[in-house]
Amino acid sequence: MSLNYDQAVEKYEPTLGLEVHVELNTKSKMFCSCSTEFGGAPNTQTCPVCLGLPGALPVVNGKAIESTILIGLALNCSIAPFSRFARKNYFYPDMPKNFQTSQYDEPICVNGYLDVEIETDEGVKPFRVEIERVHMEEDTGKSLHVGGATGRIHGADYSLLDYNRAGIPLVEIVTKIVGGTGKYAPQVARAYVTELRDILRSLGVSDVKMEQGSMRCDVNLSLAPIGSGELGTRSETKNVNSLRSVERAVIGEVVRQSNRLQDGERIVQETRHFQEESGQTRSGRSKEQAEDYRYFPEPDLVPVVPDSAWIEELRATLPEKPSTRRARLQAEWSVPDKEMTSLVNAGLLDVVEETITIGADPTRARSWWLGEVSRLANEREVDPTTLITPSQVAEVISLIASGDLTDKLARQVVEGVIAGEGTPVEVIAERGLKVVSDDGALMTAIAAAIASQPDTAERVRGGNIPAAGALIGAVMKATGGQADAAKVRELLLKHLGQGE
């Protein structure tokens, strides 16, 4: 019998390791002056340095070093007084140099931590994720696999390489082994990546768009029988490109590995690829061992030796910590703990804040994002923030406040915006969703309802107010649900001599 997630975590203790790659938002590349602009025509952003042509000499982008130190400081790391670049040698066409310039045994930031909060059965609890290192490297080019059935490498006839991305500054943030999560491993992983993304965004060092690949996560996971005190063999799942996928990848690997172990099979140390559709992982190439990369100090670049005055200068510029900001916003909006944690872990804090800044009521802004928009996003299995903008949500909320939309109509408007029918105003016009607030039109419908149910109308006249429900229902039906029920009730009761 195969184990599901709950059964798996009753028998096995998961251990996590998370590696996050972040593209910095510098204007130029890590070691040359080519533009880092996203979406340029193929091979329009290359030069002898990033193509690895003979004789070309790299020079480090000072801004990239500054950004990396800022990241290290925000993650409570020590900044190394001496740090060097290293060549990571591998023969794969995504790097034209046949090596990636990275850092190996002398990374620029070490030994930090990041505190996150997770929702547990016993309420919201803090969890500390320790950071092993933050180091600088460069991104690879993009491959297009042509031929074959699937567009994957296997079975492709040939590959086409665009090196515009090769050499864009990349920062890798590696956690220490994250143990003791128990069944909350998926939540811890997601909360960590969410918090990290919020910190990076607050620092302004990256646009941290997981969907566009400027922030990417590799999830290492191993299982060991509970209480064994052992560390199992880990798999490394790549290609995890949304917060939701981080959570799903952990669940998928826990289930897969637990079933293998249960059947007495070994876990192979390997790279796996996350499948967005199924939430499962698929085996990739078996991993080259670190010694196969034959790292050695990069002879073309000089060491980075940041002086402590500069580090303190940078530390002084650190912005409000996301956790501090959350506490502030929670107080400003008077949000309960549990709901605040849901907002944060769903990655909705920014959009809610923006919606409120535009002028929406805090309670309504929260309930729309956490409610209807999240529900529609779940149905589509996408991030809510990709469906609709804060200004559109604010617009819908303001139309409810002004009485132009009922909650029910507003849900249809949101649905229409998400379906790509245009802005809220366009959806309202296209679908004809205006609240019928014109008294004349309502009175016509009320008169018709009374005419068709004279007995009911008589009972209301006689003081039986609850009986009015049937008449209000008839009016709502006649107006296609577009009347404001409270307004109909008011007009109807007044008409039947029961108004106050």
Q: Which residues bind other proteins (CB under 8 A)?
A: 26-28, 33-35, 41-48, 51, 53, 59-65, 84, 90-93, 96, 144-145, 147-148, 152-154, 156-163, 271, 273, 283-285, 288, 292, 296-299, 301-306
What b/e string do you get for 251-287 counting C-beta neighbours within 10 Å, with b at 16 or more? bbbbbbbbbebeeeeebeebbbbbbeeebbbeebeee
For residue 145, report the phi and psi dihedrals to the nearest 5 degrees. -95, 120
CB 101 → other proteins: shortest distance, Å? 13
Q: What does the block give as tokens for 475?
A: 């009016």
Which two structure tokens, joined as six digits, stand for 443? 């009175």
Closest distance of CB 167 from Zn ion, Å: 6
95 binds Zn ion (CB under 5 A): no
CB of 299 to other proteins, least distance (A): 6
Q: Which stretch binds Zn ion (CB under 5 A): 19-27, 41-49, 374-382, 441-449?
A: 41-49
| Amino acid in position 430 | E
Span of 2-10, 42-50, 204-212, 474-482 interacting with Zn ion by CB under 5 A: 42-50
Rule CB under 5 A: choose which of 8, 20, 50, 352 binds Zn ion.
50
Tell me the CA end-to-end span of the chain in Å, nearest whole number. Answer: 68
Q: Are strands 142-146 and 158-162 parallel, antiparallel or unpaired?
A: antiparallel
Q: Which is nearer to other proteins, 125 or 287 (CB)?
A: 287
Is residue 311 part of the contact set for Zn ion (CB under 5 A)?
Answer: no
Judge residue 73's burial from the number of C-beta atoms within 10 Å of its C-beta, 0-12 exposed, 13-18 middle, 19 or more buried.
Answer: buried
Give whichever of 176 and 273 is closer to other proteins, judged by the CB atom: 273
20 binds Zn ion (CB under 5 A): no
Q: Contact with Zn ion (CB under 5 A): which of 7, 42, 47, 161?
A: 47
CA distances from 362 to 329, 377, 383 (A): 10, 21, 21
Residue 435 contacts Zn ion per CB under 5 A = no
Query: 12 vs 163, which CB is nearer to other proteins?
Result: 163
Backbone angles phi, psi at 27, to 5 degrees: -75, -35
Task: State the binding partner of 235 from other proteins, Zn ion, none, CB within 5 to 8 A by kind.
Answer: none
Nearer to Zn ion, 116 or 166 (CB): 166
Query: At its nearest, how many Å lie between other proteins and the CB of residue 479?
Result: 57
Contacts with 408 (C-beta within 8 Å, 6 or more apart), sequence order: 481
DSSP state of 498: -
Toward other proteins, which CB reaches closer, 51 or 358? 51
Nearer to other proteins among residue 158 and residue 334 (C-beta): 158
Tokens in use for 276? 């967005």
DSSP 436: B
303 binds, among Zn ion, other proteins, none (CB under 5 to 8 A by kind): other proteins
288 binds, among Zn ion, other proteins, none (CB under 5 to 8 A by kind): other proteins
Q: Which does 185 bind (CB under 5 to 8 A by kind): other proteins, Zn ion, none?
A: none
* CB 207 to Zn ion: min, Å: 21
In contact, 197 and 217? CB cutoff 8 Å: no
Q: What is the DSSP letter of 157?
A: S
Stretch that binds Zn ion, among 29-37, 106-114, 130-138, 246-254 (CB under 5 A): 29-37
What does the alpha-carbon distance between residue 337 and residue 67 come to, in Å, rounded to a whole number?
33
Residue 162: name its binding partner from Zn ion, other proteins, none (Cβ under 5 to 8 Å by kind): other proteins
Candidate residues 3, 9, 32, 356; the one interacting with Zn ion per rule CB under 5 A: 32
Select the span of 25-33, 186-194, 392-400, 451-459 touching Zn ion (CB under 5 A). Answer: 25-33
- 34 near Zn ion, rule: CB under 5 A: yes
Spatial contact of 345 and 187, defined as CB atoms under 8 Å apart: yes
Using DSSP's 3-state secondary structure scheme, residue 140 falls into coil
Identify whether the C-beta of residue 221 lies closer than 8 Å to the C-beta of residue 92.
no
Bridge partners (DSSP) listed for residue 236: 220, 271
Q: Which is nearer to other proteins, 43 or 437 (CB)?
A: 43
Residue 292 to residue 390: CA distance in whole angstroms: 48
Nearest approach, Cβ of residue 27 and Zn ion (Å) = 13
Q: Which residues, 6 or more positions from 358, have their beta carbon under 8 angstroms from its beta carbon? A: 390, 391, 394
Please report how close the Cβ of residue 42 comes to other proteins at its closest, in angstroms.
Answer: 4
**Nearer to other proteins by C-beta: 46 or 385?**
46
Name which of 58 and 390 has its Cβ closer to Zn ion.
58
Sheet holding 99-102, edge to edge: 99-102, 86-89, 296-297
- CB atoms near residue 453 (< 10 Å): 16
Q: Which positions lie near Zn ion, rule CB under 5 A?
A: 32, 34, 47, 49-50
